[in-house]
Amino acid sequence: MAKPAQGAKYRGSIHDFPGFDPNQDAEALYTAMKGFGSDKEAILDIITSRSNRQRQEVCQSYKSLYGKDLIADLKYELTGKFERLIVGLMRPPAYCDAKEIKDAISGIGTDEKCLIEILASRTNEQMHQLVAAYKDAYERDLEADIIGDTSGHFQKMLVVLLQGTREEDDVVSEDLVQQDVQDLYEAGELKWGTDEAQFIYILGSWPLGPMLKSGPSMRPIRRTITSPWRML
């Protein structure tokens, strides 16, 4: 498989459905859930072939046509993992993230991998939307819940990420990279112990795009990050 060209951005595989008609989709979903049982194939076919933006329009049309909440009806008609999948697809991305985080910190233990996957990979705008969606869905403060379920430097890093204040310039100066490498080196290799606060400050404010790239400018900073944490 050919690798994407340098600088190319990955895109999701679901795009706007051509000839989209939200009223027609709403009617088809209503029919699929009408009567005894439900037509799961029809539900799956419609929802998985529409973009998230289009799904939100279907929700609005469904309420306008039938005076009912589409997600509530889907929850009632479906069960198990299929219900979780379909309902997740119907929610705006921020609400889906909020649900995953709520599940990750509920009950005994914490799904730290889930917290890292979401909070370390969202843009500033997506992070602000997530915090607002969590507040709207659960009437709780996300930062307070994260603090209550995590601890130590991991907790501090998550709180920094939750602020949504990363630099947003995808073009990073080589001089600034070298300065950050030097600062991280001095906070790690050159110290007795590690200055975790400095690591958190620098890595929590770095632009998301360059952090995900594997170009030569990022190799020194990755080596510097890895070295002092190997024994932790």
Structural domains in the chain plus CATH codes: 22-90 (1.10.220.10), 93-152 (1.10.220.10), 174-229 (no CATH)
Instruction: List Cα–Cα distances, 85 to 78, 104, 140, in angstroms.
Output: 10, 16, 24
pLDDT the model gives residue 15: 87
Helix (H, G, I), strand (E, B) or coil at 17: coil
pLDDT the model gives residue 202: 55
pLDDT the model gives residue 46: 96
Q: Average pLDDT across each block of 10 residues of the chain; the chain has 232 residues. List them in order.
A: 49 82 97 90 95 96 97 95 93 93 92 90 92 95 95 87 78 59 58 57 57 52 48 40
The rounded distance, in Å, linking the Cα atoms of 183 and 198 is 8
pLDDT the model gives residue 232: 40
Q: Where are the beta strands (DSSP E) in 27-165?
A: none
pLDDT the model gives residue 7: 45
Evaluate if pTM is beyond 0.75: no
Q: 55 and 91 in contact (C-beta within 8 Å)? A: no
